[in-house]
Amino acid sequence: MATDAVRPVIIGPRDRESFFEAQRRNRHATWRLSVVSVLATVVMGIPLALTITPLLYAAALIIADIVSIWAPLPPSFWQHANELARYGMVAIAWLGQGKATHPQALVIGAAVLLLPGAILSVGLWLGVNALFRRAGVGGALLALKAREPNQAELKELQLADVVQEMSIAAGLPAPKIMLIDAPAANAAAIGTSPNDARIVISRGMLEQLNRDELEGALAHLVASIGNGDLRIAFRVTSVFETCGLLVAIINAPFGRRSRGTLWRIVRYGLFGKKDSESSAQEAAAMAALLTRSVGLDTDDIDDVFDTASHKKSIFRSVRTFLLFPIFFTNMAIKLSLWFFSFSMLGPSMALLWRKRKYLADACAVQLTRNPDGLAEALRKLNSDRGPIPGGTWAAHLFLVNPAGSDRMNDPKANAAQQQMWVQMWAASEASKTNNSSPPALADLPSVMKQITATGSAAMAGDANAMARMMAFRQAAATALGKSVDEMPNLADIAAAQHGDKAALQHLAEFSNKMKANQPAASDSQESADNSSNFAGFFPSLKRRLKRLDRMGAHVELESDGGKSWIVIAVLAVLLGPFALAALALLLLLIAIMVMASLAFLMVWMAFIHELFVVFLHH
């Protein structure tokens, strides 16, 4: 643990904070935010329950009608049903017109309208929980193509040792370690509880970090496991998965895709074996399917109601007529799910998760007593991150955001990159002229100017400039550790511009190869779409570094002089009224949808019930 780098003396912030203090603060914040999250879930549950309950009643009524064809139900049953309906009507009247009635009747009415839907939702949530808890982490590890570390290799042995050390420092049993052979530098704690927790770390990260930094990063993960973050993460995702399941169920009468998802889940729930590879994979695939189906995805419904693309037939119009009220229910559910998860549930859970990250950072400082290690690790990981193939659904479990844009531009990383450009240019010069005199290291702007000038000269047909550019290509390839074929070939581009077919062929091959090397690009796109709220699950690097700085890390923070706050305040004042108006409009729309769904379903229920009664009496 030799720290021989000389650190510049920086006068620390005045608001220093011990890690114990930081931990306590973040624990309290977690409590507050989990209360907010639970409240948000309950608020979201009200319109959901209001729309789901009538569906359940409709189903029950139709079943009762069908049963009474063969075995007439006792009249007392219908009496009770009537009474229930009356209480429900009281509540609906109050909702619609604000008619004051007996408070007791109102409470019973609200219970009649809300309870069945709420019970169904909670039941689904418990089911989803049980399902994915049984599935465990095997599927995720398979999707990531994780492997065990090789104890005979120095770097991987070091990794295993550091994890052991951190577990000893935290007084926890050491979690298992798995390696992913991915170039992107990142690591995650994956699991459903501390018992089956795994630390997954990419080979790229192992290459990038020195021992102190590795210690900091792994201390964060070990502390996060010890804090019980895996349970929280599991619960958060299970809420979103339950929403997805609800949408799938509500879509089932309309679409083949939703039916397929549903069928897979049922089959898995009934026949899935605990420890088999294929079922673990299936579970991971389902988790991805469910989280994706939240949102305003109307493909299945449009398919049914898009009359233009189908031939008219009696069967189809009867079906359309029968399903029409459910269309409103469907839209009401989706709209309220989307709205509430966007505006309340998503942000509150995202903020909660950020607090857990800060908490784990503070705990990591406690374990290592070296805030610089973690700060430097975060900085490096952030400048070197990239999508982890197969890791999108577990993106929130990683140390730094594997995808998405973090706007913090890192002066140190930029400086390193500039240095590299200058060196590459200088190296190519030396190799071209073959003289051993060290090239003068010019500053980056002039080098960039030189490169573009030479490049355009080469494109114009200057053979000398072209040779220079090819040498630069060679130097860049060696500096980046790639083969020359992996760098863009300027000669081909120039030739292609003059209509050389062979060069065009080369370029096509090159772009294909590039595409093949980056299979994860679409992956990251997907995860960006997945998070259907405006608050990300990751705190920005700047804020994390600022907190580490308070705990004593030597971080050079960019001081933006609080200007961003002014911009945000001005924006809030300007756009606030519009946002509020939009919010109110959306809420109104949801209310209208819910009421429409209620009204249509009631009419529909009455109509079908009358049909049965008429047929039964004749």
Partner 1 sequence: MSTTTLIVIGLIAAALLIWIIAVFNSLVALRVRVQNAWADIDVQLKRRHDLIPNLVGAVQGYMAHERSTLEAVTEARTKAVTLSSGTVADRAQAESALSGALSNLFAVAEQYPQLRAVESVKLLQEQLTSTENRIAFARQFYNDEVMKFNTAQATFPRNLFAGMFGFSPATMFTAEEPERANVQIKM
Residue 8 or 171 having the CB closest to partner 1: 171
The rounded Cα 193 to chain-centroid distance in angstroms is 20
Torsions phi, psi of 281, nearest 5?
-65, -40
Q: What are the structure tokens assigned to 57, written together? A: 């009643």
CB of 168 to partner 1, least distance (A): 5
Identify residues 354-413 at the interface with partner 1 (CB under 8 A). 366-367, 369
Is residue 370 a contact partner of residue 216, using CB atoms and an 8 Å limit? yes
With a CB cutoff of 8 Å and minimum separation 6, the contacts of 394 are 140, 144, 188, 190
Torsions phi, psi of 494, nearest 5?
-60, -45
The type of residue at 124 is L
Residue 199 or 350 having the CB closest to partner 1: 199
CB of 218 to partner 1, least distance (A): 12
CA distance 519 to 405: 19
CA distance 330 to 324: 10
Residue 164 or 478 having the CB closest to partner 1: 164
Q: Which range, of 46-54, 154-162, 381-389, 443-451, touches partner 1 by CB under 8 A?
A: 154-162
Look at the alpha carbons of 317, 321, 322, 326 in this order and tell me if their dihedral is positive or negative: positive
With a CB cutoff of 8 Å and minimum separation 6, the contacts of 352 are 30, 33, 34, 36, 37, 232, 236
CB of 21 to partner 1, least distance (A): 15
Residue 151 or 309 having the CB closest to partner 1: 151
Binding residue (CB under 8 A) for partner 1 from 40, 116, 165, 356: 165
Residue 172 or 587 having the CB closest to partner 1: 172
CA distance 60 to 212: 64
Q: Does 171 bind partner 1 (CB under 8 A)?
A: yes
What is the size of the binding site for partner 1 (CB under 8 A)? 19
DSSP string, 273-311: -SS-HHHHHHHHHHHHHHHHT-SS--HHHHHHH-GGGS-
CA distance 380 to 405: 15
CB of 165 to partner 1, least distance (A): 5
CB of 164 to partner 1, least distance (A): 7
Q: Does 298 bind partner 1 (CB under 8 A)?
A: no
Instruction: Tell me the three state secondary structure of residue 572.
Output: helix
Binding residue (CB under 8 A) for partner 1 from 157, 521, 571, 588: 157
Residue 370 or 401 having the CB closest to partner 1: 370
Q: Does 158 bind partner 1 (CB under 8 A)?
A: yes
Identify residues 183-242 at the interface with partner 1 (CB under 8 A). 211
Binding residue (CB under 8 A) for partner 1 from 6, 154, 308, 314: 154
Is residue 161 a contact partner of residue 298, using CB atoms and an 8 Å limit? no
Is residue 84 a contact partner of residue 60, using CB atoms and an 8 Å limit? no
Residue 167 or 341 having the CB closest to partner 1: 167
CB of 249 to partner 1, least distance (A): 45
Residue 176 or 211 having the CB closest to partner 1: 211
Residue 219 or 289 having the CB closest to partner 1: 219
Q: Which of 246, 293, 251, 285 is nearest to 123 (CA)?
A: 246
Q: Does 169 bind partner 1 (CB under 8 A)?
A: yes
Binding site for partner 1 (CB under 8 A): 1-2, 152, 154, 157-158, 161-162, 164-166, 168-171, 211, 366-367, 369
